[in-house]
Every structure is written in C-alpha cells, then in structure tokens.
Amino acid sequence: MTQQFSSVREAVDAIARGEVVIVVDAEDRENEGDFICAAEKATPDTINFILSGRGDFCMSVLQETSDRLELTPLVDSNTTRMGTAFITPLDHIKCKTGITADERCLTVKTIADPESRPDDFMKPGHVHLLVAKQGGVLRRAGHTEAAVDLARMAGLTPAGVLCEILDETGNRASRELLFDIAAENDLKIISIEQLIAHRRVNEKLVHRNAEATIPTRFGEFDIIVYGVEFEPQEPLALVMGDLNATSNPPLVRMHSSCFTGDLVSSLRCDCGDQFAIALEMISNESCGVLVYLPQEGRGIGLVEKIKAYALQEQGMDTVEANHALGHKADMRDYGVGLQILKDLGLSEVRLLTNNPKKTEAFNLRGFDVTVVDQVPIVASPNKHNIKYLNTKRDKLGHSLPSIND
C-alpha cells in the first residue's frame, strides 16, 4: 500500500479539534518527524501521548510571548546547526516538580494564555521553549515554525507543543515508521514542504512595489515588480495586452531566472532561447504574461549551479551533478508565481512549457489557476546543450520528442 501524506487542510482541522498530528521535515534537512498539537488545546492525555515520542518536549511560541514573559535566549551565541532558538524553560508556579503530564499541560496552557505574566512561572522548568520566526515556515522550514503556523491556521493562539519521534533504538524514526505510527493512532501526517506550498498559494503574500511601461524588441510590455512577504526576492511580471479581454486564455510563461542563459547567452542550456521565444509568442498574440522568478539553477542558486557545471565538465549530467552536490534534481516552487497570476486576475492560462509536471502541479495542487493547454516552447539544440536537453527529456520528463542524440 502506497504511503500518502494527509492534506494540509486535514492537518489544520485536526489541530483545531485538539488532536495530535505528525509533521516531517525534509529528508536532506533533519529528516525528522515530530508530534505536534496546539498549545491552547493541550490536555494531560495529549501531552502524555506527545511525550511518547521520547525526544525533547518543547513549546513553540512567537517573540511577543517571550517578551511578555521576560524570557531570554539560553546562550548568547547560538551555534546549533539549524539555529533552533531555545529560550528560558518554564514550570507553572503551582507545579511540584513540573515533570508530569498534568503539570506540563498546566504550564503549556498558561504560557499560551495572553493574560499570563512572568510571576506565574518558575524558571528554569521542564517545558523547553522555542521562539518561532515571524512568517513561520516561509522564513524557516522547521518544526518550531510549523507548530506555530498550524495553530494559527486553525484559528488558535499561535503556539504549539512538539516532540521528536524516536524509534526503539533511540534513533530518529524512519519515514516508514512515522507512517505506521500515524496509521496505528489515526493521526494526520504532513510535511513541512506541503505546508510551505499551501501557505504560498492560499495566503496573500505578494504585493506590487513598482510598475512602468517598457518597450522591447518584442513590443511594449507593462512591467510589474513584486515584493514577497517574509522573503527578500523580487519577482516580476511582463504583461502585454488586456489579459481578461481575450476569447482564449492568455499565454503564460513561468520563467525561472538563469543568469548564464538569460543574460550572457550561454549555450549550455535553452533558458535564454526560451525566454526570447516566449516573449515573441506573447507578442504575436498581443496578449500574455511572462512571470520571472528568481530561482536560479532550478532552485539551488547561482554558486551551486556553477559548481554543478564543473561536475558536468567531468562527465555528469545536470541531474547527477545536482544530486552529487546534495540537491534534488529540481527544487523550484511556483507558489509565488501563481500568486502573481492571481493578482493579475487570471484563473485560466495556456502555459508555455515543455514540462508536463509543471502543468500537473498547477492543476492538481489546488492553486485556483487552471492550465487549459500546454503550449510547447522548443528551442533549436546545439552541440553544447544536446546532453542537457536529452537529460531534461529522459530524466525530468520534458516533452522534447525532436531532440536526438
């Protein structure tokens, strides 16, 4: 039986009911699963169950809670690998030792109470506190932030209880074991990656920072530069014509930045050619959008991409090089781009892409933007990029039937 994650909506509903869920982070990060519940809904029974994870019992809060309770970082210089922001651990003043499920529950619920004050607690205590970054998993893809996000999304106080899940040997529970635990206890299980994608699509995260008209050799476009909440990136849209006044849905190109291809016309890829072809095709119809997303090298960044180039010079293909550097073959995310399309008022598009997986991602992940047609955008190959194009076809599933060895 195939193991499948629950939906984010199912997990949020479970949190709202006071249930425990399992949240896993990326396999190339900590590769860890945590029990999580909303602090506001905690009971001695749920606390006792969470403690069965046998990891570190913690409570995740926002900075405002730390300030209200006059808490401080545990160390002056945080050198943990993931920068986990531990602050003063607490026990409620009525606790005897603070170690029991009942006592920890009292401490947790009082911390979550916005009326609680510093003199309600003893310190140090047995509830280890963590400060989540403002912006949640969009700022830091950790369980600390996921716990706060899930509680907030459930309409509860943004604070959560969490504990790592260990196996019988005391090591991190495997993905297989985590799914087994979820099934045995009827728990929802999601990934932080899912939570990030859900938030990037379902929350209003983009805003227009600047707009102007720009003449190009392909015609005149409106250029809109966007800001993204909690992220430093500045994506942009090149828009031609009235997007809502055409009989057919407009052509749309989601173009990920490629310094080497777009700016210096590198022959190692087809990115620069696709960029120009997309603008020309939009111009021919006098209507359409090119969304330019700053996610260089299929999401690994310019430095890592150049390192991958060096490995390709030694005989690896683009997928093998990414894997050798510890990256996935394709780490791009189109949530921000879809937010831009929604800001432009689009609900149906004809997508300029050779990547069927991109089309499936649009239509299957609840993005509220439907691809009604996948329009090929095939550049002529050259001797420098033929291996790259074959790899995109054979390993990444791109529709490039005319490319031959």
Is residue 315 domain-resident?
Answer: no
* CA geometry: angle 384, 389, 391, nearest 5 deg: 115
- Residue 184: which CATH number? 3.90.870.10
Where do the H-state alpha helices sit in 113-142?
none
Q: Which position has the token pair 């609900």?
A: 347
Contacts of 137 by beta carbon, 8 Å cutoff, 6+ apart: 145, 146, 149, 192, 195, 196, 199
Residues 386 and 239 in one domain: yes
In a domain, 63, yes or no: yes
Count structural domains, the chain.
2
Supply the Cα-derived Rg of the chain in whole angstroms. 24
85 and 233 fall within a common domain: no
Is the peptide bond prior to 124 cis by the omega test (within 30 degrees of 0)? Answer: yes
The SS3 assignment for 154 reads coil
**Count of beta carbons in the 10 Å neighbourhood of residue 289:** 27
- pLDDT tens, residue order, the chain (405 aa): 457 999 999 999 999 999 999 999 877 666 799 999 999 999 999 999 999 999 999 999 999 999 999 999 988 888 887 778 899 999 999 999 999 999 999 999 999 999 999 999 999 999 999 999 888 888 788 899 999 999 999 999 999 999 999 999 999 999 999 999 999 999 999 999 899 888 877 888 899 999 999 999 999 999 999 999 888 889 999 999 999 887 889 999 999 999 999 999 999 888 999 999 999 999 999 999 999 999 998 888 899 999 989 998 998 988 898 899 888 888 787 878 888 998 999 989 999 998 887 777 665 445 578 899 999 888 888 888 788 788 888 877 787 766 554
**Residue 346: which CATH number?**
3.40.50.10990
Residues 56 and 125 in one domain: yes
Instruction: Judge whether 330 counts as a catalytic residue.
Output: yes
In a domain, 324, yes or no: no
Give yes or no: residues 30 and 141 share one domain: yes
If asked whether residues 336 and 247 sit together in one domain, one would say yes
Has residue 316 been placed in a domain?
no
Cβ atoms 132, 19 nearer than 8 A = no
Containing structural domain, residue 349: 204-295+332-394
Query: Is position 302 within any domain?
Result: no
**CA 290, CA 240: separation in Å to the nearest integer?**
9
* Residue of 330, 343, 368, 405 marked catalytic: 330
* CA 276 – CA 243 distance, rounded (Å): 20
- Are 58 and 141 within one domain? yes
Which residue among the candidates 152, 332, 333, 350 is catalytic per the annotation?
332
